[in-house]
Amino acid sequence: MFIIDRELERLERAGTPIRVGMVGAGFMGIGIARQILRYTKGMELVAISNRHLEGARKAYADSGVQDVARVRSVDELDDRIAQGRPAITDDPMLLCDSKGIDAILEVTGTVEFAAHVVMRAISGGKHVVMMNAELDGTVGPILKVHADRAGVVITNTEGDQPGVIMNLYRWVKGLGIKPVLCGNIKGLHDPYRNPTTQEGFARKWGMKAPMVTSFADGTKISFENAIVANATGMRVAKRGMHGPVVETGTPIQNAVGWYPVQDLLEGPGIVDYCVGAMPNPGIFVLGTTTDEFEKHYLSLYKMGNGPLYCFYWPYHLCHFEVPFTLARAVIMKDAAITPCGAPCVDVVAAAKRDLEAGEILDGLGHYMTYGLCENAQVVHAQRLIPIGLAEGCRLRRKIERDQILGYDDVEIPQGRLCDRLRLEQDALFFPQPLIHAAA
C-alpha cells in the first residue's frame, strides 16, 4: 500500500491512469465505484456492466457522474474510453474485449456467470480482480493456470477478509515467524439461517437477503477460508473447521489456547475461525518460532511466552481497499491473494433441511444448502459436490438435514462452463480417474 499510493500519484501526474471495467453494480459494486471515482488517484472506472442498466447508471450517479452512455459494441466502448467518458452496458464481454481497459473487476458473487466473464477477460489479456470468493473457492486454481498461461494476474481482493488475512500472513512470515493458523473472527454462525430470517438485517443495510444469509450460515466464511488455504497451502483440521465459540468480547489474543496445538504445529497449518471474539470483524494469524532469541524479544514486546503468538488486524474495510488490489495487479503484477498450486480446501454442500428426491437445489445463502470446508483430497476421494456447483442440480434421492451431498446424489445441469473448468482442475491436480462427467 505504501508503495502503491505513490505509484498511483505518479500515474495521475503522467495522465496515464489505470483503466478499470467493473462487472456487477450491486451493494459492493456501488461502494467500489464511489471509492475509485471520488478518492483514488491514478485510476479511472471507465465502464460498468450490469444486467440491469439502471444499476450501472446508479453506481455512477451515486458518485456524482452523470455523463454516462450505453454502449452496444466494443468499438463504441473504446470510443467512449478514448473520450474520457464513462460507459454502461448489459454485456460484460464488451469490457473483456475492449482495448481500452487494463483490468476487469468481477463483483457479482456468481459462479457460472462469473466463470464466463473471467475466462473471457483472461483470453482478452486483462488482469482480473475478483471480489468473488464463491468462484475462486470453486475453480480458482484452474483459473490461475489459465491466467498464468496468458501472462496476466488473477487475484481476490484486499478489503474482504481473505486478502487482509493474506497481507497479514505475508507480514508475519516476513518476520521470520511461521504462520500456523489463518483465522477469521465472526459474530454469528448458524447454518440454518435463511433469507426469511435475515430479511430484516438485509433491509436495514440495503443488502440482498441471500448475501446476508451466506454470511450467517457459514457458507461465506467457508469460501473465504478455502481461498486462504489455497493461497497458503494450509488445510482444515476437520470438516467444517473447529470454529470455537467464546464469550462475546473475549480478546482475540486468547486464541493461542483455543485450537489443538498438534493441528497447528504438525503439517502446513490450518485455516479456521472463531465466534464472539473481539475485535470483530477482524482477522488473525497464529504463528510460532523455535528461535529462542526471537522468543525472548516477543515476550518483551508483550506477545506472550509461546509457543503460539497471535497477530491480528482489527478490521477489514471491504470496498475501501479494492483499488489497492487493482493497482497491485496492474502496476506491480502482484496478486493480493491467489492460488499457489493445487487446491487444498474445498467448500462442500450440506443439506439445510430434509430434501426430497426431484427437488432442484437453490443458490448460495438460500433455503436448501449451506457450505462447509473440507480438504480437497477428501472431496475428490469421496466424490463430494462443491457447493459452488450445486445450484440447479436435481436430487436423485432423499437427503436428510446436515448430510453432505455427493455427485451420486444429483443430476448436473447440461452445458455449464463451471463444470468443465472443475473437470479440468481435477484432471490437472488429481490425476486419478475423474470423479464426475461434465455436462
Map residue 333 onto helix, strand or coil: coil
Q: Are residues 281 and 398 in the same domain?
A: no
Could you tell me if residue 339 is inside a domain? Answer: no
Q: What is the pLDDT of residue 387?
A: 98
Could you tell me if residue 435 is inside a domain? Answer: no
Q: What is the pLDDT of residue 435?
A: 46
Map residue 274 onto helix, strand or coil: strand
Strands, E, within 18-160: which ranges? 18-23, 43-49, 69-70, 87-89, 103-106, 127-130, 154-156
Q: Are residues 324 and 417 in the same domain?
A: no
Residue 436 has pLDDT above 60, yes or no: no
Q: Are residues 13 and 151 in the same domain?
A: yes
Structural domains in the chain (count): 3
- The CA distance from 365 to 356, in Å, is 19
Q: Are residues 327 and 379 in the same domain?
A: no
**DSSP character at residue 407:** G
Q: Identify the band that residue 303 occupies on the pLDDT scale cut at 50, 70 and 90.
A: very high
Could you tell me if residue 438 is inside a domain? Answer: no
Report the sign of the C-alpha dihedral through residues 88, 155, 166, 349, in that order. Answer: positive
- The CA distance from 259 to 263, in Å, is 7
| Per-residue pLDDT tens over the stretch 126-136 | 999 999 999 99
Which grid coordinates are listed for 221? 466464511
Map residue 345 onto helix, strand or coil: strand
- The CA distance from 94 to 359, in Å, is 36
> What does each C-alpha distance from 312 to 291, 396, 407 come to in angstroms?
21, 45, 39
Could you tell me if residue 86 is inside a domain? Answer: yes
Could you tell me if residue 338 is inside a domain? Answer: no
Q: Which domain holds residue 206?
A: 161-317
Which grid coordinates are listed for 46? 471507465
- The CA distance from 29 to 7, in Å, is 24
Q: What is the pLDDT of residue 438?
A: 43
- CA 264 from chain centre, in angstroms, equals 24
User: Other C-beta atoms within 10 Å of 196: how many?
Assistant: 10
Determine contact, residues 410/395, Cβ cutoff 8 Å.
yes
Q: Are residues 116 and 20 in the same domain?
A: yes
C-alpha closest to that of 120 among 153, 93, 141: 93
Q: What is the pLDDT of residue 431?
A: 85
Q: Are residues 200 and 297 in the same domain?
A: yes
CATH of the domain at 126: 3.40.50.720
- The CA distance from 309 to 255, in Å, is 9
Q: What is the pLDDT of residue 268?
A: 96
* DSSP β-ladder status, 283-288 and 369-375: unpaired
Q: Are residues 275 and 234 in the same domain?
A: yes
C-alpha closest to that of 216 among 98, 101, 370: 370
| Per-residue pLDDT tens over the stretch 61-117 | 999 999 999 999 999 999 999 999 999 999 999 999 999 999 999 999 999 999 999
Could you tell me if residue 434 is inside a domain? Answer: no
Residue ending a domain, among 332, 363, 389, is 332
Q: Are residues 124 and 103 in the same domain?
A: yes
Could you tell me if residue 122 is inside a domain? Answer: yes
Q: Are residues 326 and 250 in the same domain?
A: no
Angle at 415 between CA 219 and CA 151, to 5 degrees: 75
Residue 382 has pLDDT above 80, yes or no: yes
Q: Are residues 152 and 203 in the same domain?
A: no
The mean pLDDT value of the chain amounts to 96
* Encoded amino acid at 290, one letter: T
Q: Are residues 169 and 154 in the same domain?
A: no
**DSSP character at residue 365:** T
Query: Which helix (H) or strand (E) covers residue 284, if one does?
Result: strand 283-288
Could you tell me if residue 280 is inside a domain? Answer: yes
- The CA distance from 173 to 178, in Å, is 6
Residue 1 has pLDDT above 80, yes or no: no
Residue ending a domain, among 332, 365, 388, is 332
Q: Are residues 353 and 326 in the same domain?
A: no
Residue 208 has pLDDT above 80, yes or no: yes
| Per-residue pLDDT tens over the stretch 156-165 | 999 999 999 9
CATH of the domain at 394: 3.90.1210.10
Which grid coordinates are listed for 8? 498511483
